[in-house]
Amino acid sequence: MKPIAVDAFGGDHAPKEVILGAFLAAKEFNLDIVLVGKENELEKSIEDISKDFSSNVSQKITVKDAPTIITMFDKPSVAIRKKNSSMHVGMELVKYGKACAFISAGNSGAVMAIAMTVLGKLKGISRPAIGALLPTVNGSVLLLDAGANVDCKPIHLLEFSIMGSVFIKHMLGINKPKVGLISNGSEPGKGNSLVIKAYDLIKSSALNFYGNIEGNEIFSDKIDVAVCDGFVGNIILKTSESVPTIIGDF
């Protein structure tokens, strides 16, 4: 398998935590990993961390130099012009067949915009979506769009349903993933004007459509893919993540 490219300068406590993660993944999954970022800054950390791993693991880690860093404050429109960034260089490794995937824990708007610019979109897909695989009582659910597209048209929700189904089929081996459309009521006809129109589109597709699901059913294992626009998805994700913290504070 081709190596996986990883943005060494994306995410909290980068690059150190990212490098450590790369070593752990290389060991656990027997993967080759290319860390992308400022070469001179990476080498010292890699040397330190490699002491805790066998040479078998260490030789699975390589570095690809990328002198520029995209911060959390860079707007996507600015980020796409930073051609030497770790995101841009990493994405090009995929484009030119040097890596099979690119992973970044950095500025998600920038990752999205650079992916669109460098890799483009699949035929038939007009907007990319952010998919978040969330834990449920007995498994997981893919929430998408988790934040890429704040204003959507019905066709976009159908496209998200298709992409989510393909992802879950190949990543989790579920043959006919159940797609739920997030709404304010389970009955057909419930929803805002976007969701009501998307319901009909998804229902008449070849997907395994469960129908509308309410907020309290997202984590219930009734569905494999939960579809919504990126505004709603972002709020669901952040609200859900915050609730356990609050309970802990009581």
**Cβ neighbours of residue 26 closer than 8 Å, sequence gap 6 or more:** 32, 33, 53, 57, 60, 61
Near a copy of itself by CB under 8 A: residue from 27, 53, 214, 222: 214
Cβ atoms within 10 Å, residue 56: 10
Please, which residues have CB within 8 angstroms of residue 124's CB and are 6 or more apart in sequence?
Answer: 159, 162
**CA neighbor of 49 nearest in space, from 13, 18, 12, 6:** 18
Q: Which one of 16-24, 49-57, 190-198, 203-211 is the stretch in contact with a copy of itself (CB under 8 A)?
A: 190-198
- Name the token pair of 161: 């349903």
Choosing from 10, 147, 180, 211, the residue that interacts with a copy of itself (CB under 8 A) is 147
Q: Of 50, 58, 108, 136, which one interacts with a copy of itself (CB under 8 A)?
A: 136
Task: Decide: is 179 part of the binding site for a copy of itself (CB under 8 A).
Answer: no
H or E stretch at 140: strand 140-144
From 72, 101, 150, 155, residue interacting with a copy of itself (rule: CB under 8 A): 150
Please state the closest distance from residue 231 (CB atom) to a copy of itself, in A: 4
Q: Which of 137, 170, 173, 206 binds a copy of itself (CB under 8 A)?
A: 137
User: For a copy of itself, which is the closer residue by CB, 28 or 187?
Assistant: 187
Shortest Cβ distance from residue 71 to a copy of itself (Å)? 14
CA distance 99 to 6: 10
Among 92, 159, 224, 229, binds a copy of itself (CB under 8 A): 229
- Binding residue for a copy of itself, selected from 195, 198, 201, 202, defined by CB under 8 A: 195
Contact 37, 48 (CB under 8 A): no
| Distance (Å, whole) CA 38 – CA 101 | 20
User: Is 239 an interacting residue with respect to a copy of itself (CB under 8 A)?
Assistant: yes
CB nearer to a copy of itself: pick between 1 and 243: 243
By beta-carbon proximity to a copy of itself, the closer residue of 1 and 246 is 246
* Residues 61-120 interacting with a copy of itself (rule: CB under 8 A): none
* Of 172, 110, 148, nearest in space to 227 by CA: 148
Q: Distance between CA atoms of 160 and 182, rounded to whole angstroms?
A: 12
Which stretches of the chain bind a copy of itself, using CB under 8 A? 136-137, 147, 150-151, 182-184, 191-193, 195, 214-220, 229-232, 234-247, 249-250
